[in-house]
Chains A and B, each alone.
Chain A
Amino acid sequence: MKHFAASLSLAFMLMSGVASSADSDLIIYTYDSFAAKGGLGPEIVPLFEKKCGCRVRLLASGDAGQLLSRIQLDAERKKPTAHLVLGLDQYLWGRAKPFLEVWDDGWLPKGFNKLDENYRVEKGFLPFDYGVLAMMADMQALKKAGLKAPTSLRELQDPQWKKRFILQNPKTSTPGLAFFLLSRMALKTEVWDYWKRLSKQWLLMAPGWDGAYGLFLRGEAPLVWSYLTSQAYHREHGDMGSSPRYQAILFDEGQPLQIEGAALVKGSFRNSQERLRARQFLDFLLSDEVQGRIALKNWMLPVLEPRAQTLPASFRSLPKPKKLIRATGTPEELDALLEHWSLIVGTANP
């Protein structure tokens, strides 16, 4: 009974220990790895709090897709919790836009005008970092199999690559969607035939990047669709020398771009003070203090023309993509494409 009572009191402590939203001046929805210990969030939030003299709370909400689900459900229950959402990308922006503010009063974050056109999506979406998607190769495994890394999307159809690469599902993962859109832009009318053939080639199509990369590191396949900056991660963690094991591979067709952004949540501000604070945070995201930390804390690239010396050598030595691809299209077009893709490679055609 004593143990039962102790457990009961501990559970109540747990429940009451959860900070309520009312304790914070600025609430931000973000993805897990940003808010987690060792991520970018815990590093930059105290800096901002010191600047503004306010309390900021990060609410981790899974991945980018789940972030969108949460703001959608918040809007549905007419009770927005967060003032700001951080971590949506350009693919999700079209769907998220109805729930976000588009800066129609002429306001622009400081530094917004300095952004490269490549990274701008639309007013209301503040890009703060970006990633270049690429195939990562385990050079040791390739050498063992007597293979040379592929140089194009088309090459993945060759018999030598059968069951030797891991992709992500475009319906559940942003990198997967980027691969699909790259194939569509590069192969145009041939794209569906390509996927028909490719569906017999991949070892597995994981639901998310983390699962795919974990299996790649275990040695399940010598190739995985990932980020160019994955190479930098391995360099920073001791994979160096004249023939490093993990290498990013560029395709002749180009590399897709993923731009991560932050935006203000519509209807979340009770007064102008709250909006001002949220806007200050957007300004802060483009500051040197944040941009200089993105590489090693978020394993992405900063959007503001980095001063070369601030980027670590592992990032400066990344291969330069021949072409950066930015896919366009409305959410409805994307839905139709993915539905067709499902019929080509999915359950209807096992």
Chain B
Amino acid sequence: MNSGFSKKNSLGIFAVLASSLLWIFLIAVPLIFLFNRMANDSARLWDPEILATVRLTLNQALLSTFISLLIGLPLGLWAASGRWVSASRIILSLPYSVPTVVAGSAWIAWLGYSGFLGGFWEFWKLRLSYTWGAVILAHVFYNAPWIAVVVANSRMFLPPSLLDAAETLGATRTQKFKFIVWPRIRWALAGALAQVFSLCVMSFALILLLGGGPPVQTLETALFARIRYGTLDVSGAAACAFWELLLTLLPWFLILWAQRRDPGFTRIFSRQFAISRPQPGKAGVGYGVAILGVSALFMLPYLATLPAVTGFFQAGKDFSELRSPLFVSVQLAFWSGIGAVAVALLSVIGAEWLKKWRPGTVPVFLGLMGAPSGISILVLGLGVWLAYSKWLDPFSGSFVAMVLLQIAIFYPMALRMFFPLLGSTPQDLVDAATTLGASPWQAFWAVQWPRWKGPLLGALAIVIGASFGEVAAVSLFYSEQLLPLPVLLSQWTSQYRFEDAQALTALLLLLSVGMTGLVAASGNLGAFFRKWMLD
């Protein structure tokens, strides 16, 4: 075995070992510590209150995911047929980076009695705010664009020649969808649905802000109530975490199981990215503008928070105290973004290597590496606290702990974006480049980079955006010297500084969406404008 090891093998082994060690350190050990606390109190799993919350969480997540699918699937197919597909993908990915605190505040502005439409709701005696309806509406606006992005990504890599051939042979629109498009997009769609379902199960700020409290509760808010207020009911929290983990991982296991039973899966999957560049649609300018317009609609609700940003420019206001938290948040977002993308890359490289060495281990490896997407950050944070507090003093504030925890939570998101690239290396093109005298770097730059650029920058953008609004990890490890913006927001509200807090909410929106748009666009904007000018 040793004799045949090339540099590639060393990189593969390093990737598997490094990503596994990080997984053990960041995920497994904290969870073991946490579930160990529950071991003597397993009866809590059957607590009637917790079981009722499981039922409500499941119903809410299923309904939110189903409606998101109804909107996201056609929207994604439509978006992929437009000419400025990269731009619409960027616009559609923006809602995903809106901090949930901002989203909650924005929806209150639309649905509340004090909002823009307050008179309308009061006149018709309608009330959507502080109900399950409001929660589901917010979830759909959050998640439907994400499903659309994933569907559009898959659909774009479909060679147009296949559809042309089908058309020549007399296939109807339905037949083309059923036999050509659907097989190409179904697994990506399944992955997106599983992710959306998981996020709805773990939804926290939107439930707290828009649900209006009991009886609108989910496992995540029930868990929060158990660890937040003095009682520190770790057994109850762990019971909630157990059910939450089960609910969120179940769809992933179902997908893995179904993929194994689908003989066409590997063939389709390996061909999916065999073409190196996406194929934009051929539709006209008006059609493209309409797609961009509809994509932008999903950002509309959040713009309601923006006028509050003027609060920063009022005369006599001193916001020098904002400087340090802003600096901490920017640093945190940067390092979490880099870290999450790096861990996801290591996992993908590791999986590629395992595929050659022990193909059967790949689903297990990827399943475990992707598992954190089903773990609540509150649970993981508590686990990290219990496991490492002997060495890490959370009370003094720890930037490293905040970064590590955010990496643990966000890297599965990046992993899922890289997942479709697995096994799709166009080896013939790499070989051709090498034969023509290209160095390995040149071959990578010419052949691999165009395929990786989009997912890589997209993942970086989404993690950076998400980091700005992330509350749970930072609230566990902040200190007065290490105060990120979301914690400052909570401090200001507890000091009666509600107007300042609203201005800060608007600033968070600008930061997260601005950074996401900037990073995501950096890979596509140049090409988009060049093409637009030529068109």
Spell out A's residues near B (CB within 8 Å).
Answer: 7, 10-11, 14-15, 17-21, 29, 31-33, 35-39, 58-66, 68-70, 72-74, 76-77, 79, 81-82, 91-92, 95-96, 163, 169, 171-173, 199, 203-207, 209-211, 213-215, 217-221, 233, 299, 331, 335, 339, 342-343, 345-350
List the one stretch of B174-182, B206-214, B295-303 in contact with chain A: B206-214
Q: CA of A62 to CA of B227 in the docked complex: distance in angstroms? A: 13
Q: CA of A209 to CA of B494 in the docked complex: distance in angstroms? A: 8
Interface pair A20/B396, CB less than 8 Å apart: yes
Supply 7 A–B pairs (Cβ within 8 Å), ascending by A: A82-B395, A171-B225, A213-B496, A215-B112, A346-B215, A349-B215, A350-B56
- CB-CB contacts below 8 Å: B37-95 with A: 48-49, 52-53, 56
Interface pair A299/B496, CB less than 8 Å apart: yes
Q: CA of A35 to CA of B479 in the docked complex: distance in angstroms? A: 10
- Report the minimal beta-carbon distance from B517 to chain A, rounded to whole angstroms: 19
List the one stretch of B22-30, B267-275, B386-394, B434-442 in contact with chain A: B386-394
Given the known interface contacts A58-B480, A207-B208, the answer about A21 and B56 at a Cβ–Cβ threshold of 8 Å is no
Top 9 nearest A-B pairs (CB, nearest first) are A205-B213, A204-B212, A219-B114, A65-B229, A210-B493, A350-B215, A68-B230, A347-B52, A33-B494
List the one stretch of B328-336, B344-352, B425-433, B454-462 in contact with chain A: B328-336
Q: CA of A66 to CA of B381 in the docked complex: distance in angstroms? A: 14
Q: B224 in the interface, Cβ–Cβ < 8 Å? A: yes
Interface pair A347/B495, CB less than 8 Å apart: no
Chain A residues within 8 Å of B358, by CB: none
Interface pair B113/A219, CB less than 8 Å apart: yes
What range describes how many residues of B lie at the interface? 35 or more
Interface pair B130/A14, CB less than 8 Å apart: no
Q: B279 in the interface, Cβ–Cβ < 8 Å? A: no
Q: Which residue of B lies closest to A338 (CB)?
A: B231
Q: CA of A214 to CA of B491 in the docked complex: distance in angstroms? A: 12
Interface pair A33/B228, CB less than 8 Å apart: no
Spell out B's residues near A (CB within 8 Å).
Answer: 48-49, 52-53, 56, 108, 112-114, 118, 127, 129-130, 208-209, 212-215, 217, 221-222, 224-225, 227-232, 321, 327-328, 331, 334-335, 385-386, 389-390, 393, 395-400, 475, 478-482, 487, 490-491, 493-496, 498, 501
Q: Which residue of B lies closest to A65 (CB)?
A: B229
Q: Which residue of B lies closest to A82 (CB)?
A: B395
Identify B56's interface contact among A38, A163, A347, CB under 8 A.
A347
Chain B residues within 8 Å of A70, by CB: 395
Given the known interface contacts A79-B390, A163-B127, A220-B113, the answer about A343 and B48 at a Cβ–Cβ threshold of 8 Å is yes
Interface pair A347/B49, CB less than 8 Å apart: yes
Chain B residues within 8 Å of A29, by CB: 395
Give the number of A-B contacts (CB < 8 Å): 178
Q: CA of A214 to CA of B502 in the docked complex: distance in angstroms? A: 10
Q: Which residue of B lies closest to A92 (CB)?
A: B230
Q: Which residue of B lies closest to A346 (CB)?
A: B214
Interface pair A210/B494, CB less than 8 Å apart: yes
Identify A347's interface contact among B114, B214, B397, B493, CB under 8 A.
B214
Q: CA of A172 to CA of B222 in the docked complex: distance in angstroms? A: 10
Identify B48's interface contact among A15, A36, A348, CB under 8 A.
A348
Chain A residues within 8 Å of B52, by CB: 346-348, 350
Main secondary structure of the interface of B (DSSP, over half): helix
Interface pair B228/A339, CB less than 8 Å apart: no
Identify B482's interface contact among A18, A66, A206, A221, CB under 8 A.
A18
Interface pair B334/A14, CB less than 8 Å apart: no
Q: CA of A92 to CA of B231 in the docked complex: distance in angstroms? A: 9
Given the known interface contacts A77-B389, A95-B231, A210-B490, the answer about A218 and B108 at a Cβ–Cβ threshold of 8 Å is yes
- Report the minimal beta-carbon distance from A90 to chain B, rounded to whole angstroms: 12
Chain B residues within 8 Å of A163, by CB: 127
Known: A18-B396, A33-B494, A204-B212. 4 other contacts (CB 8 A): A15-B399, A210-B490, A215-B108, A348-B49
Interface pair B334/A171, CB less than 8 Å apart: no
Interface pair A19/B390, CB less than 8 Å apart: no
Identify B214's interface contact among A77, A169, A217, CB under 8 A.
A169
Identify B217's interface contact among A66, A209, A346, CB under 8 A.
A346
Interface pair B490/A18, CB less than 8 Å apart: no
- Report the minimal beta-carbon distance from B318 to chain A, rounded to whole angstroms: 10
Chain A residues within 8 Å of B479, by CB: 18, 59-60
Chain A residues within 8 Å of B222, by CB: 347
Chain A residues within 8 Å of B395, by CB: 21, 29, 59, 61, 70, 74, 81-82
Chain A residues within 8 Å of B229, by CB: 65, 171-173
- Report the minimal beta-carbon distance from B136 to chain A, rounded to whole angstroms: 15
Q: Which residue of A lies closest to B118 (CB)?
A: A219
Chain B residues within 8 Å of A38, by CB: 495
Q: CA of A350 to CA of B482 in the docked complex: distance in angstroms? A: 41
Chain A residues within 8 Å of B228, by CB: 65-66, 69, 172, 207
Interface pair B113/A204, CB less than 8 Å apart: no
Q: CA of A342 to CA of B217 in the docked complex: distance in angstroms? A: 11
Interface pair B130/A203, CB less than 8 Å apart: yes
- Report the minimal beta-carbon distance from A146 to chain B, rounded to whole angstroms: 14
- Report the minimal beta-carbon distance from A44 to chain B, rounded to whole angstroms: 15
Identify A60's interface contact among B208, B217, B480, B493, CB under 8 A.
B480
- Report the minimal beta-carbon distance from B105 to chain A, rounded to whole angstroms: 9
